[in-house]
């Protein structure tokens, strides 16, 4: 198990390095000048050159790439004898530095990865994402939990009953749910339940998890603002999980060990819950992990329509303003989460299904 974890972590690191390289190449070949975005189109050339030097854009492309890796690395290396003591300026950006070690003319800094600063707000990208990510995390996590509980339940009941009419109804509903675009579903849900039926549901068209109270109590939790975004974001994974659970269970029911368990006189519930369901969850877990990562990355439309202050809103605003460090930081954060989820899912495979080897 230890060897497997180390190997998977190494593969995950290599994938993350590939993502970092691709993101850096992609966003550095895009047209546009960050300096002019920061200073305005009427900025003089001297000011533009100063910004280029401050951002390191005056250096060769390869040097910019390794400087970016140095910023992202938890252990960064800096030469003390750099011209104009630029290393001191760089160290001042590492607000989350945990320690520093000087070896000759080299300074080693242990720090939280530095995602650079926003071109527009001048704030650390880490701070921007740390404020927005919890909202997206809550939204994505609750939506996938909702989809898992309801999807596995409906899929299991449908497989156990195995009635042709019920199977067709579930197939039609799940196909519709998988084909329904997120932005369209969000608009319909908001219009019906937060506009037409607002007097009955009490739901708001817009709102975040925390809202300022009119009675002067400061920020208060508004859990009802989660209902529509969570349900809307969970529609598509719900449809996928339901169909996968049903199909996988029907396949498992035909296996010899299920017939043996029934022949031993085990109760129907024990056969389904203990023997069949556990061995049919691998494809469901694969779908859940993918959809969970997609929910973290693809909740842009949901967040935008419901004005949910998460990563989606941050990405949209950054793209509109050509704020590349924020976009790059968001992409890398999502990629890192996806890699961690995949490693965790590989471990869960071995726990659920003894036939899966982790050696």
Each residue's pLDDT tens digit, 32-78: 666 666 666 666 677 667 766 766 777 788 888 888 888 888 888 77
Mean pLDDT, to the nearest integer, of 260-277?
A: 78
DSSP label of 196? I
DSSP 135-192: HHHHHHHHHHHHHHHHHHHHHHHHHHH--HHHHHHHHHHHHHHHHS-HHHHHHHHHHI
The whole-number pLDDT of residue 260 equals 81
Percent of the chain that is helix, strand, coil (3-state, to 5): 70, 5, 20
Distance CA 13, CA 284 (A): 26
Q: How far apart are CA 359 and CA 349, in angstroms?
A: 12
pLDDT band at 89 (very low <50, low <70, confident <90, very high): low
Specify the pTM.
0.76
pLDDT at 44: 67
**Chain-centroid distance, C-alpha 338:** 7
Per-residue confidence (pLDDT) for residue 161, from 0 to 100: 84
Give the model confidence (pLDDT) of 199-216 as tens digits.
Answer: 888 887 777 766 666 665
Number of C-beta neighbours around residue 345 at 10 A: 16
Mean residue pLDDT of the chain comes to 79
- Structure tokens given for 234: 């969970």
pLDDT in tens, 101-148: 777 777 787 888 888 888 888 888 888 988 888 888 888 889 999 999
User: How many other CB atoms are there within 10 angstroms of residue 173's CB atom?
Assistant: 15
276: its two tokens:
């069949």
Residue 186 has pLDDT above 80, yes or no: yes
**Domain 125-352: homologous superfamily in CATH:** MetI-like (1.10.3720.10)
Q: For residue 6, what pLDDT is reported?
A: 82
Mean pLDDT across 187-196: 86
> Among 50-54, 242-246, 272-276, which is the least confidently predicted range?
50-54
**Domain boundary assignment for the chain:** 125-352
- Could you tell me the two tokens for 137? 């995390």
Check pLDDT > 50 for residue 84. Answer: no
Q: In angstroms, how far is CA 103 from the centroid of its own chain?
A: 39
- Could you give the percent of the chain with pLDDT greater than 90? 1
Residue 257 has pLDDT above 50, yes or no: yes
- The sign of the CA dihedral 257, 262, 263, 265 is positive
**pLDDT band at residue 150 under the 50/70/90 scheme:** very high
pLDDT of 88 over the 70 cut: no
| Structure confidence at residue 139 (pLDDT) | 87
Q: What is the pLDDT of residue 38?
A: 63
Whole-number CA gyration radius for the chain: 25
First to last CA, the chain: 6
Q: Are 203 and 194 in contact (CB under 8 A)?
A: yes
Helix (H), strand (E) at residue 78: strand 75-79
Tokens of 22: 């691709």
Select the highest-mean-pLDDT range: 40-44, 240-244, 301-305.
240-244
Per-residue model confidence (pLDDT) at position 97:
65
Instruction: List phi, psi (to 5°) of 123.
Output: -85, 155
What residues pair up with 186 in beta bridges, in sequence order?
none
DSSP 237-305: HHHHHHHHHHHHHHHHHTSHHHHHHHHTT--HHHIIIIIIHHHT-HHHHHHHHHHHHHHHHH-HHHHHH
């Amino acid at each position: 198990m230890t060897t497997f974890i180390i190997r998977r972590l190494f593969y995950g690191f290599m994938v993350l390095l590939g993502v970092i390289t691709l993101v850096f190449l992609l966003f550095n070949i895009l047209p546009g000048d960050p300096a002019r975005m920061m200073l305005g189109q009427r900025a003089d050339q001297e000011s533009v050159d100063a910004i280029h030097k401050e951002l390191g854009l005056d250096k060769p492309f390869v040097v910019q790439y390794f400087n970016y890796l140095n910023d992202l690395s938890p252990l960064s290396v800096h030469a003390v004898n750099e011209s104009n003591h630029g290393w001191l300026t760089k160290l001042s950006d590492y607000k989350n530095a945990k320690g520093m070690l000087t070896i000759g003319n080299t300074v080693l800094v242990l720090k939280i990865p530095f995602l650079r600063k926003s071109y527009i707000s001048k704030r650390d990208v880490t701070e921007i994402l740390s404020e927005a990510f919890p909202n997206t995390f809550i939204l994505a996590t609750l939506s996938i939990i909702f989809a898992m509980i309801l999807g596995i339940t409906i899929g299991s009941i449908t497989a156990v009953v195995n009635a042709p009419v019920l199977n067709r109804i579930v197939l039609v509903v799940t196909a519709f749910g998988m084909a329904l675009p997120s932005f369209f579903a969000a608009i319909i849900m908001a219009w019906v339940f937060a506009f037409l039926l607002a007097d009955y549901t009490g739901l708001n068209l817009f709102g975040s998890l925390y809202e300022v109270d009119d009675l002067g109590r400061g920020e208060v939790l508004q859990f009802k603002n989660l209902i529509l975004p969570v349900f809307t974001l969970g529609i598509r994974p719900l449809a996928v999980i339901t169909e996968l659970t049903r199909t996988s269970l029907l396949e498992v029911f035909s296996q010899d060990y299920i017939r043996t368990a029934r022949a031993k006189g085990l109760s129907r519930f024990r056969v389904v819950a203990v023997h069949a369901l556990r061995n049919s969850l691998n494809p469901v877990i694969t779908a859940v992990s993918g959809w969970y990562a997609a929910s973290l990355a693809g909740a842009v439309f949901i967040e935008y329509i419901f004005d949910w202050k998460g990563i989606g809103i941050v990405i949209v605003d950054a793209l509109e303003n050509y704020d590349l460090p924020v976009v790059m930081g968001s992409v890398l954060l999502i990629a890192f989460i996806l890699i961690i989820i995949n490693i965790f899912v590989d471990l869960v495979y071995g726990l659920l299904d003894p036939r899966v080897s982790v050696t």
